Structure 1
Amino acid sequence: MQRRRFILSATGALAAPAIAHSQDVMTSNGTRYRLVTLTRDLEQPWSIAFLPDGRLMITERPGRLRVFANGRLERAPVGGLPRVYARGQGGLLDVCLHPGFAGNRVLYLSYSAEGAGGAATTVARAEYRDGSLRGLARIFEALPRTSGGLHFGSRLAFDRAGLLYVTAGERYQMQRAQDLGDLGGKILRLRDDGSVPPDNPFVGRDGARSEIFTWGHRNPQGLAMHPVTGRMWAVEHGPRGGDELNLLEAGANYGWPRATHGIDYSGAVISPNKSLPGMKDPVRVWVPSISPSGLAFYTGNRFPAWQGSAFTGALSNFALFRIGVDGERWTGEERLLADRLPYIRDVREGPDGLLYIVTHADDGGLYRLEPA
């Protein structure tokens, strides 16, 4: 198939949706499904989130937040967005609703923002009313800032306790991941106002940032809570090989770059160690890389055979991966949509029990998987 231009450096139910076209029927583990195109009018979409009324919010990396409603993409972007550093992998990235959004109308955005010294992964919260953001306030920044446009991480997810998790890449400066005084290469846990929960693992430890929940990460771009256990899971980009699926444990060090299954893009060895004492091993490692992005656990009843599975987009593998998880174990996987869509950036379950995905391209699209 013809590959579209891709800018990634280095490396309510919906009412009467307009269907551009439906591809042929595919089969997964006995489940017949098809891919439906909803729109192809997006520029580098990065994340999707469903509003309580079934409308769908979509971030575009250059700095726009769009709404898909009543079967079409609304022409005017949402107003009141922050200024973003839209270079390389940076820009407007994730969008996440407050657990109490139906009452307070609060949502969260992650993005790269520029300031003294360079750019950093940033999180802001605001109220969404009448097609615009109001009271936008920055609540977190993965300091220190640095130059360059790589490895922002930027996924957002809430747990059952209403605490917000934020993934921050190490900005292509690998040693930052092992520095507890640095917020790069970490997964952070915050209250909904950006303050620090008192039971975070490094609260009160000299030389360590209290926002840190886990450390030793490279560029985690998928984050989701398991619907049964309530545990948080993440997928992260390795270098050349060594992509990871991780089960997050408070205070754990996930090894990068002291332990990795990958090598440098030049072919040079980064570390001779794939595992080290005192460091947490991945649940699953991909060699060669698939470039996992976005993460969702499926709980719906439209695809009964997929219940409990995790899904992640595989940017460099041109596929959607369905991953079997049993408690804390990886039990297998299969490659869906093989070579049908390039650069799947995010995947989410909709309120209708169907799966929705976006593709990160200049002519990026919103798609839906439905039973055939």
Structure 2
Amino acid sequence: MGLQDNAISYGSALVLSLLLLPVLTQGCDMFTGRWVKDASYPLYDPSTCPFLRREFSCKNNGRPDLDYPTFRWQPQGCNLARFNGVDLLQKSRGKKIMFVGDSLSLNQWQSLTCMLHSSVPKSPYTITTQGTISTFTFQEYGVEIKYDRNVYLVDIVSEKIGRVMKLDSINDGNNWLGMDTLIFNTWHWWSRKSWDYIQIGRNITKDMDRVAAFEIALGTWGKWVDTVVDTTKTRVFFQGISPSHYTGALWGEPAAKSCAGQTEPLLGTNYPGGLPTEVGVLKRALGKITKPVTLLDITMLSLLRKDGHPSIYGLGGRTGNDCSHWCLSGVPDTWNEILYNYMI
């Protein structure tokens, strides 16, 4: 995975203990660790990413504190290989990488395209959109970085009775064939009712428990992976649950009603409020898939970043408060740095 087992030094006692750890190039837990200040971060200046969408461009939207992109994720017992965009493009020549999911997938797709563009700023590129699919092409390398907006993974079909979510159907999966790498994501929209009916087999209902519906949909997606995807040709990832920060009591600050005004991450390794229920649901569903699927288990490291959201420096400006998506540069760059460590 391209990981090094040299540990960052925070004191002689800790250095000694880390040096005694076994080599962890294959067994390193990249998702347990802490955030540390690093003067070499961020990996790119968002002002040099001309296609960055306004909702993620917190610096350009006037955010006054600029420490939030200067933290690096430090796993316990090993180091992440630093992201190298030229290396990734060279190793991905002629290949297609696709993110499939909701606006958190869009957040990660935008992050990766900015990271790569900053590595080869003079290399020509195109951005095209056809239907639900946006494609960023690095022409010099023949690399396509795609994003398919599909917020539930399962199908929603317009019928005479209205919009029907079919929890046991993935016809849209035809859009995902022929990719070299797939990174899936869903959950963000499950608390919102953007359908009129839910169907399982012949059973049609107005609504049901959303977590239960989420688990059924994940099971359908897992069967699709097992049945349709040739994992000898396509690497499959699932972007873990990206958390929101609207309740300060969960991170030990009861007076905080949201992420607004937060300027520093939590500096420990654990989140006082614990993991969301849906994380366990996702891991249970992934455990039922027989083909290899890699979980990008980014929930805990993202929970620690209460400072990383746009808050009032997103699309809505001071009329909104976005504590769900992430500023760029910022936390999704770390998700992609971890993805890079799996891909090299």
TM-score of the pair, normalised by structure 1: 0.30
Structure in which a larger fraction of residues adopt helix = 2
TM-score of the superposed pair, with normalisation by structure 2 = 0.32
Q: Which has the larger radius of gyration?
A: 2
